[in-house]
């Protein structure tokens, strides 16, 4: 594994890293507390577009994880940022829930099924055949196809559920049009998140449990990557990929002591000034 470089900002996935099926993973509370005590910029990232950042703040707080709203970055927010950059004040037909519709309303988008600029597909608990049919017809009529994230399945207590990527594949099959995915592993989500907290990729780290989204996104954004083994990826899976994480750890608990507190940062600066080599 690569040598660990100094880290001045942290990005971490949520599901499989901090929580699992509504329960905090051991060490997650200590990790978040240490981050907040350090004063270092940080973000909790999720490809889940169902909830608003405020919703997620409340859900995490109920689990004992106090993450400020401004430190949560979702694929819905990344999608909204992308659309605002591409076509400010545009129109969209949306399949998704409050996390996505709120993000689009906040950038001034009009949600409509009449000749929209975009069809935007996000995650929802119930995909309606009628809504998918409408999306297919609008794309065939010229609407651009945007998707919040490519995850093909999501976790549940009963087992995997079909997720946004699987539904996007259905629409692609019917239209012949591939979507643009704004969420992980698109480095766009990482860059917009880093910009939101004023951080730089060269001195940032990404923590995740998935090789195909978290690690790949961090790698392509030029960040150090930490793979935790509390989610979807096992050690035996790593060699299946043509790329690897910078570091592999058992869980988020192993990373708490890597977060420098203010006095440690000051000591490091003093050491560099005393010995500038």
DSSP letters, 188-246, are HHHHHHHHHHT--GGGEEEEES-IIIIIHHHHHTT-EEEEESSSS--HHHHTTSSS--S
Using alpha carbons, select from 27, 19, 12 the residue that is nearest to residue 73: 12
Q: Count other Cβ atoms within 10 Å, centred on residue 8.
A: 16
Tokens for 105, please give them.
Answer: 């309303």
- For the packed helices 75-86 and 187-197, what is the interaxial angle rounded to 10 degrees? 90
Let me know if 178 is a catalytic residue.
Answer: no
- Say how far apart CA 251 and CA 227 lie, in whole Å: 8
50 within 8 A of 123, measured Cβ to Cβ: yes
- CA dist 131 to 136, 169, 180, Å? 9, 15, 19
The active-site residue, picked from 13, 29, 209, 212, is: 13
| Marked catalytic residue, from 15, 29, 151, 209 | 15
Taken in order 247, 250, 251, 256, the sign of the CA dihedral is: negative
29: annotated active-site residue: no
Task: Sort strands 144-147 and 118-121 into parallel, antiparallel or unpaired.
Answer: parallel
Give residues with Cβ within 8 angstroms of 277, minimum separation 6.
Answer: none
Contact at 8 Å (CB) between 11 and 223? yes
Provide the annotated active-site residues: 13, 15
């Amino acid at each position: 594994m690569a040598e660990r470089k100094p880290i001045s900002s942290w990005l971490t996935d949520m599901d499989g890293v901090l929580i699992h099926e509504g329960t905090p993973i051991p060490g997650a509370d200590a990790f978040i507390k240490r981050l907040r005590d350090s004063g270092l910029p940080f973000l909790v990232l999720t490809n889940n577009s169902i909830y608003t950042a405020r919703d997620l703040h409340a859900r995490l707080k109920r689990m004992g994880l106090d993450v400020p709203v401004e430190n949560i970055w979702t694929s819905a927010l990344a999608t909204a940022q992308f659309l605002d950059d591409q076509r400010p004040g545009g129109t969209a037909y949306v399949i998704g829930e409050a996390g996505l519709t709120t993000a689009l309303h906040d950038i001034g988008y009009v949600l409509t099924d009449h000749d929209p600029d975009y069809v935007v597909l996000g995650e929802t608990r119930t995909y309606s055949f009628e809504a998918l049919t409408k999306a297919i017809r609008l794309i065939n009529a010229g609407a651009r196809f945007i998707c919040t994230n490519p995850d093909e399945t999501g976790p549940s207590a009963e087992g995997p559920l079909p997720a946004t990527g699987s539904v996007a594949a259905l629409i692609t099959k019917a239209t012949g049009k591939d979507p643009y995915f704004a969420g992980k592993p698109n480095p766009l989500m990482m860059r917009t998140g880093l910009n939101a907290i004023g951080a730089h990729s060269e001195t940032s780290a990404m923590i995740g449990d998935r090789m195909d989204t978290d690690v790949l996104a961090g790698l392509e954004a030029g960040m150090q990557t930490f793979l935790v083994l509390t989610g979807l990826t096992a050690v035996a899976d790593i060699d299946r990929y043509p790329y690897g994480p910078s570091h592999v750890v058992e869980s988020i608990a192993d990373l708490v002591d890597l977060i420098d507190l203010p006095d440690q940062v000051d000591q490091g600066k003093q050491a560099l000034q005393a010995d500038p080599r």
